[in-house]
Amino acid sequence: MRLFRRTSHGVVLTEAGEAFAADAKRILADTRLAVEKAQSAGRGEIGQLNIGFTGSAAFNPVVSKLIRAYRQAYPNVTLTLAEGNTAQLLVYLDDGRVDVAFVRLGSQSPAGGRFHHIAMEPMKVVLPVTHRLAKKRRIDLSDLAEDPFSHAAARSESHAA
């Protein structure tokens, strides 16, 4: 089939040529849009971000501020939130269920991830007035290493002795 016809002044599209040209222009425009969309996704401007967090992280003002700032900066990214404990969230990161997680790590960071410290929070301990450390203003966490963590644990230890 002929797409164009030669004339004394150049070429003109045939009816088939006009139909083809309209679709070709649309395809080229769609291709440009596809490239732009892929570039936006590559820059993290569109798509989905799955965020894991511990229950206590939700109350940290730094975490909520970061999520709010991300939503403002990238309004075309859908955020999905998943709550879990630190061990669960590390598994979720490893198997791809979440892309990023706000966790509370102990003194050691597990291998296989990149960790960024975003906030320092004071830790409080409430002790009975009869506890050996109750009168101290400052206690290292290691000072409590041998202490039971609940009345049930204390009762079971005293019955085991």
Distance, CA of 106 to CA of 72 (rounded, Å): 32
Q: Is 55:82 a contact under the CB 8 Å cutoff?
A: no
The confidence score (pLDDT) of residue 149 equals 67
Q: Is 98:89 a contact under the CB 8 Å cutoff?
A: yes
DSSP 38-60: HHHHHTTSEEEEEEEE-TTGGG-
Examine the pLDDT at 50 and tell me if it is beyond 90: yes
Q: Residue 30: which pLDDT band, with cuts at 50, 70 and 90?
A: very high
Under CATH, domain 46-118 is a member of which superfamily? Periplasmic binding protein-like II (3.40.190.10)
Q: Which residue in 102, 3, 23, 21 sits closest to 61, CA to CA? A: 102
> Which is more confident, 160 or 9?
9
Helix (H, G, I), strand (E, B), or coil: what is residue 136?
coil
Q: Residue 158: which pLDDT band, with cuts at 50, 70 and 90?
A: very low
- Mean pLDDT across the stretch 50-77? 90
Distance, CA of 120 to CA of 108 (rounded, Å): 16
Examine the pLDDT at 106 and tell me if it is beyond 60: yes
Task: Name the one residue in this structure whose structure tokens are 């016809």.
Answer: 5
Distance, CA of 137 to CA of 25 (rounded, Å): 75
